C-alpha cells in the first residue's frame, strides 16, 4: 500500500516550490541559494530543532511562529547560517516578511531556515529583492521540488529528495520531503535542514507527536563527524487536501501516517549519511539482542560515531576490535563476552567476533565486503530483544580538505 513516488515537496496536493539564485554568498548564477515552499491553504505545522545550546536566529523566530501550530510557507537560504551574526533575528524576520508579502499571508505564517557559514551578516537585501522572482517561479512540479532541493545545498554533492504515497482513512495521501546535510552531522540531529509536506488532514498536536517519534528514530540516529550544528531544523506542513478525516488521536490512521513519515525520514537520513563530506561508504550499524531499544541505540550510535571505526571502513580493514572498543565506551551496560560481530554488504557477510572473542576469517573476503559502498556492521548482544539501527559514513582525506577551507 505504501509506495515511493516522484515529486518531493510537490508530491502532495496544494504545494508549490521554487529555488533560484539571488547572490547570498556567491555571484555564480548557477548556484541556487534561496528556496520557497508554499501551501495553497493553511497547514498544521510542527518542527524539531537542534539540541545545540547555540542556536541560529531562524530557530528562535520559528519557535514563535509555531506557537499556534500553524503555518503556510517555508523560506530558506544557503550560503549563510545567520547564526551568531549581527541583526540575526531581525534579518530572519525580514525574510519571513518578504515571503509573506509575495504570498499574501501574515509573516507569522512563514517559517524560515538558513544554512552556511556561521558568524557573518546575512545579505538579507538580496533575498528581499529576489523574492518577487522566487514567488513567480513557484510551481507544483517535479522540477520545482528539484530546484528547491538544490537551493538549500551547501557541501552536499547530491540533492536529498523523497516522496511516498499511502492510503489513510480510505483516501490517497501523499508525503514528500527535501533535505540537506553533509557535514556537522551528529545526533541530535545532523547539520540538516529538512522540509516535509503532506496533504494528510492531521491536527497540530498529532503531527507534532508523530514528528517527535520519527525524528528520534531517523535523523537522531545518523552521524558523520561528531559535530552538532546550530541550525538543524526538521519542519513538516500538512494541508489536509487529501480529504481524509482529520487525525486527532492515536489509532489506525495515526499509525499509517507515522509509518509513511518514518519511511520518508529514514530514506532522507540514509541519503544524508551516505553523502557525508568526502565519504566513500554508507555505514549501517544494526544492533540486536540488546537488553532494550535504548541500549541498542546507544551502542549503535557510538559505533557509527567512532572515528577509528570510520577510518577502518575507509581502508576496508575488518578491524572489529574498534567496534567493541566503541561499544565499551558508549555508556551502555552489557556483557562483552556475549557479543557477536559481523560485517556485511552486497558482496556477502563474514563473522569476525563470537562471544567477545575473535574468529579466524578470510581477510580477502572481508576486504571485498568492506569495499562495497553500503557496508553494514551487525552486532548481536545476547541479552534480550532490544534492537536499533543507526547510520554513518567513513572518514576520508577529502573531509579534511573540504573543512580546511570551508569559508572560501
Is the same domain home to 176 and 321? no
- Number of domain units in the chain: 2
Is the same domain home to 110 and 184? yes
Say whether 298 is catalytic: no
Is the same domain home to 186 and 54? yes
353: domain CATH number is: 3.10.20.340
Cell of 212: 517527535
Out of 50, 115, 154, 191, the active site residue is: 191
Could you say which residues of the chain have pLDDT below 50?
183-190, 225-229
Is the same domain home to 267 and 323? no
pLDDT of 253 = 98
pLDDT of 272 = 85
Question: 274, 295, 324: which is the final residue of a domain?
Answer: 274
Is the same domain home to 291 and 265? no
Is the same domain home to 265 and 290? no
118: domain CATH number is: 3.60.70.12
pLDDT digits (tens, 9 = 90+) for 244-295: 999 999 999 999 999 999 999 999 988 988 776 667 899 999 999 999 999 9
What residues are paired with 71 via a beta bridge?
Answer: 43
Angle between helices 204-217 and 252-274 in degrees, nearest 10: 40
**Cα–Cα distances in Å, from 131 out to 72, 127, 338?**
16, 6, 60
Is the same domain home to 203 and 345? no
Question: 239, 274, 309: which is the final residue of a domain?
Answer: 274
Is the same domain home to 206 and 313? no
Range of the domain at 173: 3-274
CB 326 within 8 A of CB 303: yes
pLDDT of 188 = 45
Q: What is the mean pLDDT of the chain?
A: 92
Is the same domain home to 64 and 179? yes
pLDDT of 227 = 42
Reference 76, options 102, 52, 99; nearest CA is 99
Is the same domain home to 225 and 306? no
pLDDT digits (tens, 9 = 90+) for 355-365: 999 999 999 99
**Cα–Cα distances in Å, from 390 out to 56, 161, 270, 287, 376?**
26, 20, 9, 9, 10
Count of helix runs (H) and strand runs (E) in the chain: 11, 16
Question: 274, 290, 318: which is the final residue of a domain?
Answer: 274
Amino acid at each position: 500500500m505504501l509506495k515511493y513516488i516522484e515529486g518531493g515537496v510537490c508530491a502532495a496536493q496544494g504545494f508549490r516550490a521554487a529555488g533560484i539564485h539571488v547572490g547570498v554568498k556567491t555571484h555564480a548564477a548557477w548556484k541556487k541559494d534561496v528556496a520557497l515552499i508554499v501551501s495553497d491553504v493553511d497547514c498544521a505545522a510542527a518542527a524539531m530543532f537542534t539540541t545545540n545550546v547555540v542556536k541560529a536566529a531562524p530557530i528562535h523566530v520559528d519557535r514563535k511562529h509555531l506557537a499556534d501550530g500553524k503555518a503556510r510557507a517555508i523560506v530558506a537560504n544557503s550560503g549563510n547560517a545567520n547564526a551568531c551574526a549581527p541583526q540575526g533575528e531581525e534579518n530572519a524576520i525580514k525574510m519571513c516578511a518578504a515571503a509573506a508579502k509575495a504570498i499574501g499571508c501574515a509573516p507569522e505564517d512563514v517559517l524560515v531556515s538558513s544554512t552556511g557559514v556561521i558568524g557573518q551578516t546575512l545579505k538579507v537585501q538580496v533575498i528581499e529583492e529576489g523574492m518577487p522572482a522566487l514567488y513567480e517561479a513557484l510551481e507544483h512540479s517535479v522540477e520545482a521540488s528539484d530546484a528547491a532541493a538544490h537551493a538549500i545545498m551547501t557541501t552536499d554533492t547530491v540533492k536529498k529528495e523523497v516522496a511516498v504515497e499511502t492510503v489513510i482513512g480510505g483516501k490517497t495521501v501523499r508525503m514528500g520531503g527535501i533535505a540537506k546535510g553533509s557535514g556537522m552531522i551528529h545526533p541530535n540531529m545532523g547539520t540538516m535542514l529538512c522540509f516535509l509536506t503532506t496533504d494528510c488532514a492531521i491536527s497540530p498536536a498529532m503531527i507534532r507527536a508523530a514528528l517527535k517519534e520519527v525524528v528520534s528514530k531517523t535523523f537522531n540516529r545518523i552521524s558523520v563527524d561528531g559535530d552538532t550544528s546550530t541550525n538543524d531544523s526538521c519542519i513538516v506542513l500538512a494541508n489536509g487536501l487529501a480529504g481524509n478525516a482529520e487525525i486527532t488521536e492515536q489509532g489506525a490512521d495515526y499509525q499509517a501516517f507515522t509509518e509513511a513519515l518514518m519511511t520518508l525520514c529514514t530514506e532522507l537520513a540514509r541519503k544524508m549519511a551516505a553523502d557525508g563530506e568526502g565519504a566513500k561508504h554508507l555505514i549501517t550499524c544494526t544492533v540486536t539482542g540488546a537488553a532494550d531499544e535504548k541500549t541498542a541505540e546507544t551502542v549503535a550510535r557510538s559505533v557509527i560515531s567512532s572515528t577509528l571505526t570510520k577510518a577502518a571502513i575507509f581502508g576496508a580493514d575488518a578491524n572489529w576490535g574498534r567496534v567493541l572498543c566503541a561499544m565499551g565506551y558508549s555508556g551502555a551496560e552489557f556483557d562483552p563476552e556475549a557479543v557477536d560481530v559481523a560485517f556485511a554488504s552486497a558482496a556477502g557477510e563474514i563473522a569476525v567476533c563470537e562471544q567477545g572473542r575473535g574468529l579466524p576469517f578470510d581477510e580477502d573476503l572481508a576486504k571485498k565486503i568492506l569495499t562495497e559502498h553500503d557496508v553494514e556492521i551487525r552486532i548481536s548482544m545476547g541479552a534480550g530483544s532490544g534492537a536499533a539501527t543507526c547510520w554513518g559514513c567513513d572518514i576520508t582525506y577529502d573531509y579534511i580538505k573540504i573543512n580546511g577551507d570551508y569559508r572560501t
